Amino acid sequence: MLRLLTAGESHGQALVVVLEGLPAGLEITVEDIQAEMARRRLGYGRGPRQRFEVDELTLLGGVRHGRTLGSPLAIEIRNTEWFRSDRWHDEMSPAPGETKEPLTQVRPGHADLAGMQKYGFTDARDVLERASARETAARVAAGAVAKRLLSHLGVEIISHVIQMGSARVPAEAARPTPADLDAVDESPVRCFDNVAADAMIAEVKAAAKDGDSLGGVVEVLAFGVPIGLGSHVHWDRKLDGLVAQALMSIQAVKGVEIGDGFEVAGRRGSAAHDPIRWNSDDGRYERLSTLAGGLEGGITNGELLVARAAMKPLATLNVPTLETVDTATKESAVSFKERTDVTAVPAMGVVAETMVALVLADEAQRKFGGDSVAEFVRNAEAAAAATRDRDA
């Protein structure tokens, strides 16, 4: 089973990723991981930090000659801002000392105040440096590896933006397939529907003009997912629950939907479920729709896996409008102005792909096991063949 640990602060020297439980023989290079991490920077409405922060990666352990060894994979992602100037050296120094500029105007919508209360801090930076979405860079690095493992089972995971502010992709619009991922990434808002994309861009421009921010919804699609990941037997083994937790853990994600979960809640039962049919040509059962998002009873059913994540509008605004308080003086204040992105919904989609990949790779390892990729694939193929034989 896969276990992911990340460490590091937003303006510290580096992020560190440890991914434990990978089989041996998985081909992986720094360039593969970097390419995936570059996708996290995509999207109209992102600010300058995304442009000058290049992800400098070092594979510290677990890989030799381009292949995993079965030992923990360790990745360092250096923070170029740290090496480019000494701006953060005193502020983020691990040596004993104190900051000269404690942040005491806590920002609404961030972890600042709750984190200070929980850990007994008087400087919000002690919280915000780790709460920052910079940490998602570490997740995406690990997700690149999880995706690579899943590719050996024929699983491909993509995402696209289906809502930004009030601009939405119509429910009947065509969904992208893995072959469309480049087209999605080339869209400035990572939206597959051109008309909706134009409306989204207009919303971002309008919000930017007002110094405001936007949220939205991303849809993650996993193609080729094997039958039988997750289980109905216990609450914490249900794959829909695991996917929901993983997506909800992304900074600023406030809602998760599996398939058409919220829409079908308003329908009658007769129109809310995916009918099942025997496909004699392919020799398999098939669902005639994707309302359940490829999950029934917490188990993957071999259909397209569909999960959506809703992100709140970013809480740091380019115009200070949100009322807050200075924790040192208790005086009212206006949330401090800082250059920030207008929206991070397109980038969040890449992080959401990562989280789904990590959950699926973990469950695939649990079900199929194997110390090497060859063994893992052999076990998965044997399980698929056994299912086919039983079903026939």
Ligand X SMILES: Cc1cc2nc3c(=O)[nH]c(=O)nc-3n(C[C@H](O)[C@H](O)[C@H](O)COP(=O)(O)O)c2cc1C
**Both structure tokens of 263:** 């829409």
Q: Which of 131, 227, 272, 383 binds ligand X (CB under 6 A)?
A: 131
Nearer to ligand X, 68 or 316 (CB): 316
Tokens standing for 305? 């896996």
Closest to ligand X by CB, 110 or 238: 110
From 75-83, 104-112, 159-167, 221-229, span contacting ligand X (CB under 6 A): 104-112
CA distances from 149 to 25, 74, 89, 229, 298 (A): 10, 16, 38, 15, 22
Exactly one of 140, 229, 250, 310 binds ligand X (CB under 6 A); that residue is 250
Least Å distance, CB 118 to ligand X, is 13
Cα atoms found within 13 Å of the Cα of residue 306, Cβ hemisphere only: 18
Q: Does 79 bind ligand X (CB under 6 A)?
A: no
Sequence letter at residue 389: D
Based on the shown chain and the rule CB under 6 A, indicate whether residue 59 belongs to the binding site for ligand X. Answer: no
Residue 10: how many CB atoms within 10 A of its CB? 20
CA-only gyration radius of the chain, Å: 22
Q: Which is nearer to ligand X, 109 or 178 (CB)?
A: 109
Tokens of 392: 């026939």
Extract the tokens encoding 86.
């000494």
Minimum CB separation of residue 48 from ligand X in Å reads 11
Question: In angstroms, what is the minimal distance from the CB of 163 to ligand X?
Answer: 16
Per DSSP, the three-state class of 288 is coil
Query: Residue 332 corresponds to which amino acid?
Result: S
C-beta closer to ligand X: residue 6 or 316: 316
Long-range contacts of 318-321 (CB under 8 A, 24+ apart): 318/208, 318/211, 318/212, 318/342, 319/210, 319/211, 319/212
Q: Which stretches within the chain are classed as H helix?
A: 30-39, 48-52, 80-84, 112-119, 125-131, 135-151, 181-186, 194-209, 239-248, 261-264, 345-368, 373-391
| Inter-residue contact 33 to 142 (CB < 8 Å) | no
Position 164 contacts ligand X (CB under 6 A): no
Residues 265-324 binding ligand X (CB under 6 A) are 312, 314-316
Paired tokens of 355: 């989280």
- Count, residues near ligand X per rule CB under 6 A: 20
Residue 136 lies near ligand X (rule: CB under 6 A): yes
Query: Contacting ligand X (CB under 6 A), which of 252, 256, 307, 359?
Result: 252
Part of the chain binding ligand X (CB under 6 A), chosen from 70-78, 129-137, 150-158, 261-269: 129-137
Q: Per rule CB under 6 A, is residue 251 in the interface with ligand X?
A: yes
Identity of the residue, 176 or 215, whose beta carbon is nearer to ligand X in the bound complex? 215
Residue number, 116 or 348, with CB nearest to ligand X: 348
Q: Is 135 in the site for ligand X (CB under 6 A)?
A: no
Element (H, E) at 220: strand 216-223
Of 107 and 287, nearer to ligand X (C-beta) is 107
Q: Which stretch binds ligand X (CB under 6 A): 4-12, 106-114, 233-241, 274-282?
A: 106-114
Stretch (H or E) spanning 259: none
User: Minimum CB separation from ligand X for residue 213, in Å?
Assistant: 7
Does residue number 38 form part of the binding site for ligand X (CB under 6 A)? no
Contacts of ligand X in 313-352 (CB under 6 A): 314-316, 340-341, 344, 347-348, 351
Residue 214 binding ligand X, by CB under 6 A: no
Whole-angstrom Cα distance, residue 352 to residue 178? 15
Asked whether position 264 contacts ligand X by CB under 6 A, the answer is no
DSSP code of 177?
Answer: -
* C-beta closer to ligand X: residue 46 or 287: 46
Q: Round to whole Å and give the CA distance between 165 and 79.
A: 31
By CB under 6 A, name the binding residues for ligand X. 109-111, 131-133, 136, 250-252, 312, 314-316, 340-341, 344, 347-348, 351
